[in-house]
Amino acid sequence: MVHIGFIGLGIMGKPMAKNLINAGYSLVVYDLNGDAVKEVADAGAKAAACISEVAEACGVIITMLPNSPHVEAVVLDEGGILDNAAKGSLVVDMSSISPSSSKKMEAELVKKGMRMLDAPVSGGEPKAIDASLAIMAGGAEADFDEAKPLFDVMGSSAQLVGPIGSGNICKLANQVIVAANIAALCEGLMLAKKAGADVEKVFHAIKGGLAGSAVMDAKAPMMLSGNTKPGFKIDLHIKDLGNALETGYATGSPLPLTAGVMQMLQILKSDGRGQCDHSALINYYEKLADTLLY
């Protein structure tokens, strides 16, 4: 049986790996968190002691890590994928990182006869668990076709956007839109609250109209109940918006809304809420308005 490598078993990676196991794939997994490795191994994967063990055993290696430096270390550093994977291996990075980092790694992998897709995801932990992630990929069409059966297990949609780096460009655009959407939702709900309306009824009244969105459906109930359990952490959204702003500066793309929401998230982080769900952006508005939403 062909083995699939999976490196990175965090909030997103762990359920994604489990879904692949449940679909019948043979996984070799690694993470710095030994408890996460044991949990996925108990579900049917083989636990690896190091990155090289994954790279040597697997022709397809999926990475799901926090940011560009972590992925580059796994792929490029001594003892990593570049040093140990066989010629022809396919690296599928499903992390959300800088497009320039994806291009850098792919260039080095190609020198050794390997291939790469950047294929970040959208949907957060709930959609990772129920295998309904949106997957946006960059790379060669043949490589995308090879990885598509895996994507179909982990997500409800998978789209090849363009050459390497395009997946992460698409993800940055996604995160910009999500951030601005959450901020607008906070402003609208707080306006309703301060003006004396029943905020929950306002939510139900508008969610089916033009203002309605997947973001509203997922995040308004959390805001209305004071639930900040992370499906997607503020710290991670700060990371994504940082990559978006960096890419915007490099390409001359104006991102004034993104910069504004970034400052709001940074204030929440300084208040100790970095590990909260990004719907906790409502806490910023509650602080400004001196009013609790719920």
DSSP assignment string, 25-69: -EEEEE-S-HHHHHHHHHTTPEEPSSHHHHHHH-SEEEE--SSHH
| Beta pairing, strands 133-138 & 121-122 | antiparallel
The H or E element containing residue 289 is: helix 281-289
Q: Using pLDDT thresholds of 50, 70 and 90, give the confidence band for residue 291.
A: very high
In the numeric block, which tokens belong to residue 80?
Answer: 């990593």
Domains by residue range for the chain, with CATH: 3-164 (3.40.50.720), 169-289 (1.10.1040.10)
User: Is pLDDT above 70 for 128?
Assistant: yes
Q: What average pLDDT does range 131-153 have in this prediction? A: 98
Residue 1, pLDDT score: 60
Sole residue written with tokens 């306006």: 191
Residue 294, pLDDT score: 87
| pLDDT, tens digit (0-9, with 9 covering 90-100), for 55-114 | 999 999 999 999 999 999 999 999 999 999 999 999 999 999 999 999 999 999 999 999
Residue 132, pLDDT score: 97
DSSP assignment string, 96-141: ---HHHHHHHHHHHHHTT-EEEE--EESHHHHHHTT-EEEEEES-H
| pLDDT, tens digit (0-9, with 9 covering 90-100), for 144-165 | 999 999 999 999 999 999 999 9
14, 18, 171, 239: which one is catalytic?
Answer: 171
229 as an active site residue: the answer is no
The chain-wide mean pLDDT, for the chain, equals 97
